[in-house]
Amino acid sequence: MKTAAIIGAGLIGQGWAIVFARAGWNVNLYDPNSQAAEKGLAMIGSLLGMLKQEGLLPDDTSAANRIRIAPTLPDALAGAEYIQESAPENLEAKRALFAEMDALAAPDALLCSSTSTIPASAFTGHLAGRARCMVAHPVNPTYLIPLVELSGAPWTAADHIERAKDILLDVGQRPIVVRKEIEGFVMNRLQGAVLHEAFRLFSEGIASGEDIDATIKHGLGLRWAFIGPFETIDLNSPQGIEEYCERYAGVYESIGASLGKCVDWNKALRQGLADERKRELPRDQLEAKRLWRDQKLMQMVRQLYHAG
């Protein structure tokens, strides 16, 4: 029986615990705040119940039984071969935590961080076991959106990254490897590219925020839910991607020249956008809309990953 240690019992830690437990792993859940650990475990119970109700867990699952609260960090790490840190985004805290984990964990255990903004090199360089440390950046909620970005420091060993990849595939996630440290990894860079152009189109009055959203959800996004941008253009020209590039490189390069100038996300622009969003979705409906989003996401996941 394999064991994962989940360090930090907030939203992200809860998501990781569900991912490993539903795949049959034992999970040691640790949080320095023992009340937070109890609260996290209760939340995990509700989420597992919801996933079962939605047909997203095997019927015979006893995932909840495989998760236990570990009273101390050494106890959490004992016997764990995969360790996922999901503490707050604080560089000094991560440096200290990784030093402790590196000293306590089994020599061949992998040490991964959920950070979305801090490169692994910033908090692992001082460690004897730095070759086994890396970022494993998940998307929220981790138990529904399978992407995980693996990003090592220059000293992270390639075979440890491969091992992390195999483990994450084994528990049902879809890991990718970010080969060089870069701000935003891959996902938030692609999201940033879309957001910057969306802000620009909005700020220049080309289209309303609602219409920019519609362009993605009623247009590009319908395919991007199951094929990526390269696959999309590979299939969009009879002979494939080379032919597509030959035909359209000129158009895209011309568009590219104007993409260059990213607009400043200034106060007035944000305010204009927020005002429009508030008209479309009054703030007292934000929470209901989030529940709607999660339901939709579950339908999507059921169809794309569970329908066989």
Touching a copy of itself, residues 156-175 (CB under 8 A): 174
Q: Which of 1, 217, 268, 284 binds a copy of itself (CB under 8 A)?
A: 217
Phi, psi at 143, each rounded to 5° = -80, -5
CA–CA dist 135, 149 (Å, integer)? 7
| Residue 233 binds a copy of itself, judged by CB under 8 A | yes
Q: Which of residues 93-132 bind a copy of itself (CB under 8 A)?
A: 117
Phi, psi at 228, each rounded to 5° = -75, 180
Cα–Cα nearest to 115, from 246, 268, 7 = 7
Q: Which of residues 248-287 bind a copy of itself (CB under 8 A)?
A: 249, 251-262, 264-265, 270-271, 273-274, 277-278, 281, 283, 286
Q: Which of 184, 203, 268, 308 binds a copy of itself (CB under 8 A)?
A: 184
Minimum distance of a copy of itself from residue 211's CB (angstroms): 4
Q: Which of 191, 203, 279, 306 binds a copy of itself (CB under 8 A)?
A: 191
- Return the number of the residue (103 or 169) whose C-beta is nearest a copy of itself: 169
| Residue 91 binds a copy of itself, judged by CB under 8 A | no
Q: Which of 158, 169, 195, 279 binds a copy of itself (CB under 8 A)?
A: 195
Tokens 């919801």 — which residue? 50
| Residue 186 binds a copy of itself, judged by CB under 8 A | yes
Q: Which of residues 130-149 bind a copy of itself (CB under 8 A)?
A: 139, 144-147, 149
Minimum distance of a copy of itself from residue 285's CB (angstroms): 11
